[in-house]
Amino acid sequence: MEELRKKLKGKDFLTLHDFSVEEVQFMLDEAVRIKGLQKSGIPHPYLRGKTLAMIFQKSSTRTRVSFEVAMVQLGGYALFLSPKDIQMGRGESIADTARVLSRFVDGIMIRTYAQSQVEELAHYATVPVINGLTDLTHPCQILADFLTIKEHKGRLAGLRLAYVGDGNNIAHSLMYGCAKVGMNISIASPEGYKPDQKVVELAKQDALATGARIEIVTDPVQAVTGADVVVTDVWTSMGQEAEYDLRKKIFAPYQLNKELCALAKEDYISLHCLPAHRGEEVTDEIIDGPHSAVWDEAENRLHAQKAVLALLM
């Protein structure tokens, strides 16, 4: 355990693909432990006196609030930085921003568009860099998802997860994560909207270590039938607004509704990273229904990220 803690200290958190099976499990175990401390009212100021710079190129409710609250509860301080607040939004290079911030703070979280921006920031920074979301991956969300699944199902390995919708950053990170924890995953996306093939190949390589099965299909019925966990996300992400009408038409058969979810196991749970476009990718009766673990999932962003922050910083 102490050896894993030493390995993670100072490391960047860019994708779950970058971590070993043991490291991912350790982060989840730490999230369970730290959540237990908070629920018991036991202070855990592991980052007393430390500061996290939070760069937001994309706005967010859950990412901003959960990281900011996490730093407060860990005894540290979070500094919100929008494009209007820093020179990176006015032409300063990512490399120079990384060098300067590293002299001021103990860690950097960035929520942005291109994965390459996060990678460049991490390359030049001398403090840990955490990926708060890119168009390619969203690793913090998946740690929260897995914490939620473990709480509801008691395990991760051997379960079957179905993701229905756009082959986006959530689909990519679910594949990376499932490969690390031994969870089988079936992703149903329309032709032309399937996950990035390079990510699929890397996830399948990772899955060899745990025996997880990764399946990409176009039929949502095939994906959901017999699933323990059913997941979806918005059909139109930030930056894709011009495609809204087209996507709404193409993804209509991929809605999580009563008929589709009835094909999952009787005790299935449903997840959504939020914000949800109710009546589009998910109906009210699913997101508000007895199988929904969406609000536990949202809360667990806080606990999962506290574990990441504490271990890296």
Catalytic site residue from 17, 111, 272, 303: 111
Question: Annotated binding residue at 237?
Answer: yes
Residue 178 among the catalytic residues = no
DSSP the chain: -HHHHHHHTT--BS-GGGS-HHHHHHHHHHHHHHHHHHHTT----TTTT-EEEEEESS--SHHHHHHHHHHHHTT-EEEEE-TTTSGGGGT--HHHHHHHHHHH-SEEEEE-S-HHHHHHHHHH-SS-EEEEE-SS--HHHHHHHHHHHHHHHS--TT-EEEEES--SHHHHHHHHHHHHHT-EEEEE--TT-PPPHHHHHHHHHHHTTTT--EEEES-HHHHHTT-SEEEE--SS-TT-GGGHHHHHHHTGGG-B-HHHHTTS-TT-EEEE-S---BTTTB-HHHHTSTTB-HHHHHHHHHHHHHHHHHHH-
Catalytic site residue from 25, 73, 141, 305: 141
**Cis check: omega of the bond before 253, within 30 degrees of 0:** no
Question: Annotated binding residue at 233?
Answer: yes
Residue 99 among the catalytic residues = no
Question: Annotated binding residue at 169?
Answer: yes
Question: Annotated binding residue at 48?
Answer: no
Question: Annotated binding residue at 283?
Answer: no
Question: Annotated binding residue at 61?
Answer: yes
Catalytic site residue from 233, 255, 261, 305: 233
Residue 273 among the catalytic residues = yes
Residues in the chain: 313
Residue 233 among the catalytic residues = yes
Catalytic site residue from 166, 273, 291, 303: 273
Catalytic site residue from 57, 301, 303, 305: 301
Residue 261 among the catalytic residues = no
Residue 301 among the catalytic residues = yes
Question: Annotated binding residue at 238?
Answer: yes
Question: Annotated binding residue at 274?
Answer: yes
Question: Annotated binding residue at 178?
Answer: no
Catalytic site residue from 25, 73, 106, 138: 138
Residues making up the annotated binding site for L-ornithine are 169, 233, 237-238
Task: Supply the residues annotated as catalytic.
Answer: 111, 138, 141, 233, 273, 301
Residues making up the annotated binding site are 60-63, 87, 111, 138-141, 169, 233, 237-238, 273-274, 301
Residues making up the annotated binding site for carbamoyl phosphate are 60-63, 87, 111, 138-141, 273-274, 301
